[in-house]
């Protein structure tokens, strides 16, 4: 127990105004004094007996030039130290508004050097925690504001408090032992200085926001910032709980001076009331033989009961302003301090026993005593350990290993069987750990574990965990890539099989073969399947069975002649190449991993052999070390390979993903273009057909009918507009390129020759295009590439040419007559 009167200090606030006459005397051995000299005032017209000099004694007086760090060192640090030792401590600032209470307790808002007692104390406490490894501390913080006899929790983070009333109200409770409890006051744990400072900031912000000019809470309220400490020596059952209150009291000015009515007066009265009660408590405490102390008269005195005349080391800072006009208040502040200085406190070490820890300790003691006893009586056992006993021992060893306390002992008693069993258990555990027993019971060692083991000497546990995770992730990546490749292969095979079926059964087999040779099926499928495999991110390309045979054919040609074709092809080729590379890399990674494992086994063998030789005393250290070193180096090398290959694989994956995205986008665009073109084509055909039908019925020439023909009598220039959006073939010089316009079968008149052409397989039709150059030469008029192609069959082609020639001469003859009813009617109804 420490008996001590409340320590009083005085701080003079710097001022630019005219100061009263004052002097600070710090030379005195027992402390310091502050003296105010008041000139005799005769202006009142009568001889007064006012004293000239007022002298007050303090532990120390800090004149205006003293900085915050000095204040902390002298006033707050000793209190913080006693709190660390397990005593309660309080520092409170008392003085009129504007005298520097908040500046002293919390600090100025602008400069770092203006930090007040609270932040400096927090910093100091956490610094001490980290220095003192013999104690484990936990810290909680509370911040209470008392305004008009109501308490508010300033650390309430839930509320965006715009008024003080928005904050949770704190209620005082007293238990049967007359201990004070504050309900609704949150105790926030703060693990470090930063968290504690954040809490201070939160509280001050709440305090600031809640304040309005009409309600200047900061000058009329008391603020109590409390650090709750709990310290414990590791392994000890004794807890030390202590509290440090840092108190910024309301302004101590008198009501008379406030001189305002209404709300403000009420507030002022309250403040003075509560400070008045504080004064009463202090007077009561300073008087000998007073049994009743009126703590309960106000909330503030109730909360600070321990700090005033109780179990606490308390320090008061009287803040004074030495401006002439504040002289009265300064003197009354000092007077108050003189009374406070008389109060004796009795600070107790707040030690308590943690029942749970105590029980554990006592149990250990009993066990130890029992063992001692059996040792003395020599009672030894030689039967085998029961299953139950073995299980118990295993639990004991586990608890022993898990306990962070370095002084924990494994109490087994004088039973050699148990001692032996625990030793062998420990040996097994250590060996398991050395062999990479990271919880994998099956004995297989993952590559991650391999790396982990080998690097554990040089890396920190955090690095190891990271590396381990990375490797597991990489392993997954490889298997995904390898799986993907396998699937591709299968799909390609499936496609080939399907293709073979089609070839056998379908009349268009040769045509398909032609088309597929231009676009290898595997390539095609692989991109499709990738887009499916990627979670269906892209729209699937609707093709194949969904398109009619004619449309499919049109699409194939459309695609082949599309302007993006080359880019798509390039990307496909690149993707294929990259996938192959990825497969190779995946294999390489696996190989590297296997080699690392192999080397590891060899290394282990070496070590075991060396240990065996060591026992027999027959090994040459230098030799063995060189061999081991060599293995180690090889392993390092392989690991580097593994890592770099992995890096490549990852980079490759990014590229593959990008390529896949590009392809998906191109596919979607191609399909969209085709659909647009197709529907445009279809609608314009409908128009031309209905037009043609209409004209034929009215007897007018239906010239539009033969849309595919470039032959004058067979078509008109307007027809070509129906296909104007068709992408131009990339290489128009290739005469064998089939003209897409020729694949609109319905628009072609069913002349015998033409329908014969249509009936022929694509292959033959394509060959007919070569023959069309022949037609060009033969024809009297120039035939465009879109003219009716020949069949390739000599007889049929001769018929066609004969027909065209005959038709031409007929047209020439009937030219001027405007109508050639016979042929036109034939054309109209031919279908
Ligand atoms: P109180 O809390 O007692 O009403 P404040 O701490 O708010 O007074 O101080 C009033 C003003 O004086 C503030 O602007 C503060 O920064 C300034 N101040 C007070 N004490 C000092 C000091 N020792 N050094 C510099 N400025 C001070
Ligand atoms: Mg203040």
Check: CB of residue 64 under 8 Å from CB of residue 14.
yes
Determine the Cα–Cα distance for residues 92 and 79; give it in Å rounded to an integer: 11
Residue to mutate (ligand 1; options 11, 17, 66, 103; most atoms within 8 A of CB):
103
What whole-number percentage of the chain has pLDDT above 90? 22
Helix (H) or strand (E) holding 660: helix 621-697
- In short, whether 116's Cβ falls inside 6 Å of ligand 1 is no
Distance 90 CA to ligand 2 centre (A): 18
Of all atoms in ligand 1, which is nearest to the CA of residue 103? 6
Distance 100 CA to ligand 1 centre (A): 4
Determine the Cα–Cα distance for residues 91 and 80; give it in Å rounded to an integer: 10
- Cα–Cα distances (Å) from 103 to 8, 12, 111, 246, 317, in that order, read 18, 12, 12, 13, 12
Helix (H) or strand (E) holding 530: helix 521-533
The neighbour count for residue 382, using CB atoms within 10 Å, is 7
Distance 147 CA to ligand 2 centre (A): 13
Helix (H) or strand (E) holding 630: helix 621-697
Structure tokens at 377: 């009586």
Determine the Cα–Cα distance for residues 696 and 68; give it in Å rounded to an integer: 109
Determine the Cα–Cα distance for residues 822 and 801; give it in Å rounded to an integer: 20
Helix (H) or strand (E) holding 62: strand 60-62
Of all atoms in ligand 1, which is nearest to the CA of residue 319? 3
Nearest ligand atom owner, CA of 108: 1
- In short, whether 100's Cβ falls inside 6 Å of ligand 1 is yes
Distance 201 CA to ligand 2 centre (A): 15
Bridge-based pairing state of the strands 7-13 and 169-174 = unpaired
DSSP-based three-state secondary structure for 365: helix
pLDDT at 25: 87
- Torsion, Cα 688 690 692 696, to 10 degrees, reads 180
Residue 169, φ and ψ in degrees, nearest 5: -85, 135
**If we measure between CA atoms, which residue out of 515, 564, 565 comes closest to residue 743?**
515
Query: CB under 8 Å to 580, separation ≥6 — which residues?
Result: none
Look at ligand 1, atom 15, and give the residue with the nearest C-alpha: 103
Radius of gyration of the chain from its Cα atoms, rounded to whole angstroms: 50
Residue 31, φ and ψ in degrees, nearest 5: 160, -145
Distance 461 CA to ligand 2 centre (A): 49
Q: Assign residue 107 a region (left: φ > 0; alpha: ψ between -120 and 50; beta: otherwise).
A: left
pLDDT at 502: 60
pLDDT at 272: 64
Of all atoms in ligand 1, which is nearest to the CA of residue 66? 23
Written in H, E and C, the secondary structure of 477-515 is HHHHHHHHHHHHHHHHHHHHHHHHHHHHHCCCHHHHHHH
**Would the CA dihedral through 283, 288, 294, 299 be positive or negative?**
positive
Regions of the chain with pLDDT less than 50:
257-261, 439-456, 506-545, 696, 698-758, 760, 763-786, 816-831
pLDDT at 303: 92
Structure tokens at 557: 């040609």
Nearest ligand atom owner, CA of 70: 1
Burial class (CB in 10 A: 0-12, 13-18, 19+), 796: middle
The neighbour count for residue 195, using CB atoms within 10 Å, is 16
Residue to mutate (ligand 1; options 11, 13, 97, 330; most atoms within 8 A of CB):
13
- Torsion, Cα 372 373 375 377, to 10 degrees, reads 160
Of all atoms in ligand 1, which is nearest to the CA of residue 104? 6
Residue to mutate (ligand 1; options 98, 114, 253; most atoms within 8 A of CB):
98
Determine the Cα–Cα distance for residues 247 and 92; give it in Å rounded to an integer: 4
Structure tokens at 699: 């007897």
Check: CB of residue 308 under 8 Å from CB of residue 279.
no
Q: Assign residue 76 a region (left: φ > 0; alpha: ψ between -120 and 50; beta: otherwise).
A: alpha
Nearest ligand atom owner, CA of 109: 1
Distance 599 CA to ligand 1 centre (A): 73
Determine the Cα–Cα distance for residues 525 and 531; give it in Å rounded to an integer: 10
Distance 11 CA to ligand 2 centre (A): 14
DSSP-based three-state secondary structure for 572: helix
Look at ligand 1, atom 16, and give the residue with the nearest C-alpha: 108
Distance 14 CA to ligand 1 centre (A): 9
Residue to mutate (ligand 1; options 64, 66, 72, 100; most atoms within 8 A of CB):
100
Per residue in 744-779, is it b (16+ CB within 10 Å) or e — as a string?
Answer: beebbbebebbeebeebebebbbbbbebbeebbeeb
- In short, whether 99's Cβ falls inside 6 Å of ligand 1 is yes
- Cα–Cα distances (Å) from 193 to 3, 69, 84, 122, 555, in that order, read 31, 18, 15, 6, 71
pLDDT at 333: 94
DSSP-based three-state secondary structure for 405: coil
- In short, whether 98's Cβ falls inside 6 Å of ligand 1 is yes
List the alpha helices (DSSP H) in 49-138. 68-71, 77-84, 101-105, 117-131
Nearest ligand atom owner, CA of 104: 1
Look at ligand 1, atom 5, and give the residue with the nearest C-alpha: 100
Distance 323 CA to ligand 1 centre (A): 13
End-to-end CA distance of the chain: 121
Distance 103 CA to ligand 1 centre (A): 5
- In short, whether 97's Cβ falls inside 6 Å of ligand 1 is yes
Of all atoms in ligand 1, which is nearest to the CA of residue 64? 23
Per residue in 657-685, is it b (16+ CB within 10 Å) or e — as a string?
Answer: eebbebbbebbeebbebbeebeeebeebe
**If we measure between CA atoms, which residue out of 122, 349, 380 comes closest to residue 226?**
122
pLDDT at 726: 40
- DSSP lists the bridge partners of residue 243 as 228
Nearest ligand atom owner, CA of 13: 1
Work out the widest C-alpha separation in the chain, in whole angstroms: 153
- In short, whether 216's Cβ falls inside 6 Å of ligand 1 is no
Determine the Cα–Cα distance for residues 755 and 40; give it in Å rounded to an integer: 135
List the alpha helices (DSSP H) in 287-386. 299-303, 327-340, 355-377
The neighbour count for residue 648, using CB atoms within 10 Å, is 14
């Amino acid at each position: 127990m420490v008996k001590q009167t409340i320590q009083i200090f005085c701080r003079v606030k710097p001022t630019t105004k005219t100061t009263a006459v004052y002097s600070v005397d710090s030379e005195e051995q027992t402390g310091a004094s502050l003296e105010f000299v008041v000139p005799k005032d005769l202006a009142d017209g009568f001889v007064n007996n006012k004293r000239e000099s007022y002298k007050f004694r303090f532990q120390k007086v800090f004149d205006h030039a003293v900085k915050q760090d000095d204040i902390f060192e002298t006033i707050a640090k000793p209190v913080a130290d006693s709190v660390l030792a397990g005593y309660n401590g309080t520092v409170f600032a008392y003085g009129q508004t504007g005298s520097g209470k908040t500046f002293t307790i919390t600090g100025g808002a602008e400069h770092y050097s203006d930090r007040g007692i609270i932040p400096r104390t927090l910093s100091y406490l956490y610094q001490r925690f980290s220095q003192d490894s013999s104690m484990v501390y936990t810290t909680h913080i509370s911040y209470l504001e008392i305004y008009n006899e109501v308490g508010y929790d300033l650390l309430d983070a839930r509320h965006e408090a715009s008024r003080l009333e928005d904050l949770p109200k704190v209620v005082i409770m007293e238990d049967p032992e007359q201990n004070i409890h504050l309900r609704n006051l949150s105790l926030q744990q703060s693990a470090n200085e930063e968290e504690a400072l954040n809490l201070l900031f939160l509280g001050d912000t709440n305090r600031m926001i809640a304040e309005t000019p009409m309600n200047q809470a900061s000058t009329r309220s008391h603020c109590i910032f409390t650090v709750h400490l709990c310290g414990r020596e590791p392994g000890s059952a004794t807890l030390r709980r202590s509290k440090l209150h840092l108190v910024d009291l309301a302004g101590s000015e008198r009501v008379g001076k406030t001189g305002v009515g209404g709300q403000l007066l009420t507030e002022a009265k309250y403040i003075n009331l509560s400070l008045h009660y504080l004064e009463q408590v202090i007077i009561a405490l300073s008087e000998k033989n007073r049994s009743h102390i009126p703590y309960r008269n106000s909330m503030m005195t109730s909360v600070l009961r321990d700090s005033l005349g109780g179990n606490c080391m308390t320090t008061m800072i009287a803040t004074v302003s030495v401006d002439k006009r504040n002289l009265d208040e300064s003197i009354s502040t000092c007077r108050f301090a003189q009374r406070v200085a008389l109060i004796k406190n009795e600070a107790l070490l707040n030690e308590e026993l943690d029942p749970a820890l105590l029980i554990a300790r006592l149990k250990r003691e009993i066990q130890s005593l029992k063992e001692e006893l059996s040792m003395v009586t020599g009672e030894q056992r030689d039967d085998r350990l029961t299953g139950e006993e073995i299980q118990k021992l295993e639990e004991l060893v586990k608890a022993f290993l898990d306990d962070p306390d370095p002084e924990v002992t494994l109490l087994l008693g004088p039973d050699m069987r148990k001692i032996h069993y625990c030793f062998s258990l420990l040996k097994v555990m250590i060996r398991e750990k050395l062999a990479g027993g990271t919880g994998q019971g099956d004995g297989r060692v993952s590559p991650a574990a391999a790396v982990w083991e080998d690097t554990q000497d040089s890396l920190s546990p955090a690095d190891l965990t990271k590396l381990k995770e990375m490797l597991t992730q990489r392993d997954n990546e490889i298997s995904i890539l390898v799986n993907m490749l396998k699937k591709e292969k299968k799909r390609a095979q499936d496609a080939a099989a399907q293709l073979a079926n089609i070839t056998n059964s379908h009349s268009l087999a040769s045509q398909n073969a032609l088309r597929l040779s231009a676009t290898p099926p595997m390539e095609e499928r692989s991109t499709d399947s990738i887009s499916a495999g990627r979670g269906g991110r892209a729209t699937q390309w609707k093709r194949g069975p969904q398109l009619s045979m004619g449309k499919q054919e049109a699409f194939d040609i459309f695609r082949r002649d599309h302007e993006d074709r080359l880019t798509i092809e390039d990307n496909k080729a690149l993707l294929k190449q990259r996938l192959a590379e990825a497969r190779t890399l995946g294999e390489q990674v696996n190989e590297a991993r296997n080699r690392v494992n192999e080397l590891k086994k060899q290394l282990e063998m070496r070590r075991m052999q060396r240990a065996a030789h060591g026992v027999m005393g027959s090994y040459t250290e230098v030799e063995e070390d060189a061999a081991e070193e060599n293995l180690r180096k090889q392993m390092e090398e392989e690991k580097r390979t593994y890592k770099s290959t992995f890096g490549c694989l990852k980079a490759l994956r990014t590229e593959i993903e990008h390529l896949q995205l590009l392809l998906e986008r191109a596919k979607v665009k191609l399909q969209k273009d085709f659909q647009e073109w197709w529907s445009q084509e279809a609608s314009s055909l409908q128009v031309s057909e209905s037009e043609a039908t209409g004209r034929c019925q009215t007897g007018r020439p239906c010239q539009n009918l033969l849309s595919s023909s470039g032959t004058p009598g067979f078509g008109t220039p307007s027809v070509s507009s129906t296909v104007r959006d068709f992408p131009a073939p990339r290489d128009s010089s290739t005469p064998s390129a089939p003209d897409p316009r020729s694949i609109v079968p319905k628009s072609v008149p069913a002349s015998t020759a033409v329908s014969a052409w249509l009936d022929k397989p694509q292959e033959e039709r394509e060959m007919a295009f070569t023959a069309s150059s022949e037609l060009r030469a033969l024809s009297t008029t120039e035939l465009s590439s879109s003219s009716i192609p020949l069949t390739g069959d000599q007889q049929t082609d001769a018929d066609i040419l004969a027909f065209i020639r005959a038709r031409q001469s007929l047209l020439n003859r009937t030219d001027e007559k405007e109508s050639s009813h016979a042929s036109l009617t034939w054309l109209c109804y031919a279908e």
